[in-house]
Chain A
Amino acid sequence: MSELLTAPTVVDSSEDRTMILNMGPQHPSTHGVLRLVLEIDGEVVVRVAPDIGYLHTGIEKTCEAKFYQQVVPLTDRIDYCSPMHNNLCYCLAVEKLLQLEIPERAQWLRVLLSELTRLNSHLIWLGTHAMDIGALTVFLYCFREREQILRLFDDLAGQRMMTSYFRIGGLALEPPLDFFPRVRAFLKTMPEKIDEYENLLTGNRIFINRIKGVGLLSAEDAISLGVTGPPLRASGVDWDLRRDMPYSSYEKFQFKVPVSTGCDVWSRYVLRVQEMRESVKIATQALDGMPEGPIKANAPKIVLPDREAMKTQMEALIHHFKIVTEGFGVPAGEVYQAIESSRGEMGYYVVSDGTAKPYRVHMRNPTFATLQAIEKMCVGRLIADVVAAIGSIDIVLGEIDR
């Protein structure tokens, strides 16, 4: 394996059958800067060696130098396609360390936003995956709807992508007045938009031929290689953290977990489209049952006070000053908190030594593990199938490299 990466041009040529092909780091289908070193025999892939780290920015190290609340905006930048899942997972982990109760309204809003984020992320995946395969039109359709979600986020948080809207102990602000009606209007149109994408792809013979039976991954391999999320469920393992280990009151929602036994790129496609439909249902339920109440926990030493209170009450001003300048101490201990992000199990392992800065933050990101399965999916197949396989794991290099 090592000679594969260090000497990409020549390998043992005694048999003179195979050659080395560098795919990436600037190949458009690698979704960023993934480099795959392929050993090929004609058109057939013999070995695959992923080379990652081009986007490594040392976020885990940076976290150790920040106060707990200052880490939230960093988490957005890890998986830039689903920032709110990162926010949520980090906040849940710190809240678990603090043993903090979150008001119901904040929990439900978090569910609503998670599902909108999942739709957003799946729309990017669908558009780019189809584009990799050669169906360019779908990309424009997907980004049309994605733009609507981003506008909602913009109104909510003042940012389209790096929203940083979640806070330890709740949420940053109460949503604007017309937010819920606008989300409802959007969700109402979404199912027929998903029908539109399916009209373009699901019956498309070129699309089917390119991805059916490609990128096979058995359930045993998926489990032993740490694959989670849609690729795991498409290999027939019925496992979804939202249902099986619920967090943020997901246990109060009714939804189906689509599972397929196809094990190929096609079934991952079908499964994600079904997931989008389920997300619309969950988000609608969250809108229907949205409880009233506060959106921040009652913990003045941890949660920043409202602007109004800060300007009028001495005590709130003191708390505000303290939190901003000194942070807040978190009792010593270690926790691992996982959520089901759009790509699989996202986990935050946070270690505290009792001070106001995290001693260690580690992100367990789904595609980091799933990337290990790329060799199983591609060996013995054509080079063109590698592109389909990469798309099917919904790769985001930001979260792999961190």
Chain B
Amino acid sequence: MTDAGENQSKEAVLAAHPDHRAIAALTEQLPDAIQNAKYDRGELTLTIAREAIISACRTVQTAGYNFLVDVTGVDWYPNQPRFQISYHILSHTLKQRIRFAVFVDEGDPSVDSITSVWPAANFYEREVFDLFGVRFGGHPNLRRLLMPEDYQGNPLRKDFPVEGYR
């Protein structure tokens, strides 16, 4: 396996793992959904088009990736697109993990909620909404989770000072 994550092209990564169930299912059913692919340190990251996240999740769910482990965000400020939403998905039968990444712009920080596929995403998406200010369309209860209800600002954004505003 190659180890450098940066200089791999999407096609090379996809071609290097022909037997990978998630790649096979996605390239067959949603060929346009995968924007980029990276295989780094034994972990597969697929960058998914923002509109396609629900259908991509449904596709891998039927392909055997039954368990949503985690949803979280990364703020790449001041780079654009600014926010990366990372989804970690696990398959109990294949004993394999995959990561989906969705990039969102600062101007419209929103992405569709995947609570309809995995209800487990509920708290995770609320946490990302709370700490990054990314909105999840179709979420049943999108309110702050960890910070107080009347709190202003999103602490995990990079332009938020570590000591908070004084």
Residues of A with Cβ closer than 8 Å to B?
1-2, 5-6, 52-53, 56, 58, 60-62, 64-65, 96-97, 99, 223-226, 237, 239, 244-245, 332-336, 338, 345, 347, 349, 351, 359-360, 362, 364, 368-369, 371-372, 401-402
Are B88's CB and A349's CB within 8 A? yes
Given the contacts A53-B145, A224-B120, A335 and B41 also touching, CB distance less than 8 Å: yes
| Contact of A336 (CB < 8 Å), options: B43, B92, B144 | B43
Indicate with 1 or 0, residue by residue over B113-154, a CB within 8 angstroms of chain A CB atoms.
Answer: 000001110111000000100000000110111111100000
Contact residues on B (Cβ < 8 Å of other chain), bracket: 35 or more
Are B69's CB and A226's CB within 8 A? yes
A58 contacts across to B, CB distance below 8 A: 155
Are A349's CB and B162's CB within 8 A? no
Q: Is the interface of B mostly helix, strand, loop or mixed?
A: loop
Give A54 Cβ to nearest chain B Cβ, in Å: 9
B75 contacts across to A, CB distance below 8 A: 360
Given the contacts A56-B146, A336-B70, A369-B123, A245 and B95 also touching, CB distance less than 8 Å: yes
Within 8 A of A (CB), among B4-48: 5-6, 40-43, 45
Residues of B with Cβ closer than 8 Å to A?
3, 5-6, 40-43, 45, 66-70, 72, 74-75, 86, 88, 92, 95, 97, 99, 118-120, 122-124, 131, 140-141, 143-149, 155-156, 160, 162
Q: Is the interface of A mostly helix, strand, loop or mixed?
A: mixed
Are B74's CB and A225's CB within 8 A? no
Can you name the residue of chain A whose Cβ is closest to the Cβ of B92?
A239
Given the contacts A62-B162, A237-B92, A239-B92, A362 and B72 also touching, CB distance less than 8 Å: yes
Can you name the residue of chain B whose Cβ is closest to the Cβ of A49?
B141
| Contact of B122 (CB < 8 Å), options: A97, A244, A334, A372 | A372
Give A169 Cβ to nearest chain B Cβ, in Å: 16
Given the contacts A244-B95, A360-B74, A364-B69, A333 and B123 also touching, CB distance less than 8 Å: no
